[in-house]
Amino acid sequence: MDKVNAKKRQSKGASSRKEGASMKKLSLAIALACGTATAADEPTYTNGVADIINNNCVVCHQKGGIGPMTFENYEQVRPWAPLIQYKVASREMPPYSYDHGIGIQDLQGDWRLTQEDIDSVVNWVNAGAPYGDRDIVVQPPNLPDPNEWTFAADLGQPNLIIPSVPLDIPANGNDMWHKHIVDSGVTEDRCIKAIQVKPLGHAKAVVHHANSNLYIDGQTGGMLTEYAMGKWGELVPNEVCRTFPANAQVRWDIHMFPGGVGATAQGQMIENNVVEIGLWFHEKGFEPKYKQDLSLYRLGNQADIVIPPHGTYMTQGFHSFDHPVRIDSWQPHGHLRMNAASFEIFHPSTGRTEEISQVSKWSATWHHSHIFSPMSAPLVPAGSVLILKQWYDNTADNPNNPDPDMWVVGGSRTGDEMTHNWLAVTHLDDEEFDRLSAQRMLADANTD
């Protein structure tokens, strides 16, 4: 089975490398033919760069957004060009840390720019960040209405809305966390079809991200979903039931920047700040083919974590199932010292270890659940072993480290460390596993 997963990846990697090489050849040919590069092939704001910024940055870097500056037009963008170049070239912006060239690259809700777009921005700034042809009309950013639910057009209004407890956010101050438990009012098990988290009104300028967990009989019962500005929500794959259990409560964990990061809400107090979860359920009586759960997988014992001052640390965990599964998403979790995570699968039948995902510049500022596209999500035979690793850096080289002189232990305070992963797992039987494997073989054969 690992062959099927690997094949998909190799063919992808090869084709993008080919594109890159032919692009280079093309621009070399133009440069040779003309003596020097002509103005026409230089990226300008109106000729490409505005589209890249409008489609990938303005959602946060707009009036009322969480970005510290606005990029809505050339006049706003131009002064920041060198910093934009740096942040784009280093892949720090858009903020989505996931390694290129390793494992599955086919993700849903992936904010990363293509190498081609990165090159355009870099070349544009090197050329002096020119405006370009005044006759070209720049298309305005196509931003969704922040007050409307993403899935409303297709699925209508949510079946259930669960609001957080309102909170007044001061005009200025340090980061704030709002953690509390609310009732859902759901009295029987339901199958989730889609889910989205949305801050109301002015809240969107100050809510950095919001996690929500299910809470059942006083215990964490799995992650519900998570919000960061720019996310449109999550659709559960076809034929799959992710259960919202009867009588579950929801535990909110909302991270806010009072006053906004700088662009807009500065100096403005926000009253009754509320974040809402919208849930779309399948009809009662829906008979799913598969069950999915979003569960926490620990990597060793958190209580064992002891990271010396100026030291490093690593944890790993292993999991296997007695039936085949499909892994639909992966989200590593740690705090300020954690700086990398990886996900591999060992197949005892072949002795091969398959790379699935790696994040080598992890930061607790942005929590991402990496959702594998349905045709790429790893299919795992019974007995294959998930290998989850996380690395910690308590030295001064770690830019997120508040104090390298401290001993760091396992715990839930921001200054402590954690070691776990969230995985969305769809449980299969042998027949379904074979059917899904065959489907992929066929799809691969058709694209070759």
Q: Which stretch binds ligand HEC (CB under 6 A): 62-70, 141-149, 379-387, 426-434?
A: 62-70
The only residue of 1, 49, 88, 340 in contact with ligand HEC, by rule CB under 6 A: 88
Count of residues that bind ligand HEC according to CB under 6 A: 22
By CB under 6 A, tell whether 56 contacts ligand HEC.
Answer: yes
Contact 367, 268 (CB under 8 A): no
The least CB distance from residue 349 to ligand HEC, in Å, is: 41
- The yes or no reply on residue 95 touching ligand HEC (CB under 6 A) is yes
Q: Whose CA is closest to 42, among 137, 134, 127?
A: 127
H or E, element range at 217: none
Number of Cβ within 10 Å of residue 153's Cβ equals 9
Residues 6+ apart with CB under 8 A from 106: 8, 12, 372, 373, 375, 376
Chain positions 228 to 247 lying near ligand HEC, rule: CB under 6 A, are 228-230
Q: Considering only CA atoms, which of 305, 391, 298 is closest in space to residue 342?
A: 391
- The residue among 141 and 230 lying less far from ligand HEC, judged by its C-beta, is 230
Among 1, 50, 93, 379, interactor with ligand HEC by CB under 6 A: 93
DSSP string, 62-73: STTSSSSS--SS
68/309 with CB nearer ligand HEC: 68
Place of tokens 């992966």: 330
- Of the pair 79, 166, the CB lying nearest ligand HEC is at 79
For position 57 contacting ligand HEC by CB under 6 A, the verdict is yes
In angstroms, give the least distance from the CB of 268 to ligand HEC. 18
Q: Which is nearer to ligand HEC, 95 or 221 (CB)?
A: 95
Say if residues 158 and 149 touch (Cβ distance below 8 Å). Answer: yes
User: Interface with ligand HEC includes 67 (CB under 6 A)?
Assistant: yes
Q: What does DSSP say about strands 240-244 and 107-108: parallel, antiparallel, or unpaired?
A: unpaired
Helix (H/G/I), strand (E/B), else coil: 170 = coil
Query: CB within 8 A of 26, min separation 6: which ones?
Result: none
Closest to ligand HEC by CB, 261 or 265: 261
Instruction: Name the minimum Å distance from CB 277 to ligand HEC.
Output: 19
How open is the CA angle 248-193-224, to the nearest 5 degrees? 40
Say if strands 240-244 and 190-199 run parallel, antiparallel, or are unpaired: antiparallel
Applying CB under 6 A, the span of 61-69, 177-185, 328-336, 433-441 interacting with ligand HEC comes to 61-69
Pairing of strands 240-244, 290-298: parallel
Q: Which is nearer to ligand HEC, 48 or 237 (CB)?
A: 48
Residues interacting with ligand HEC, by CB under 6 A?
56-57, 59-61, 66-68, 80, 83-84, 87-88, 93-95, 111, 228-230, 261, 365
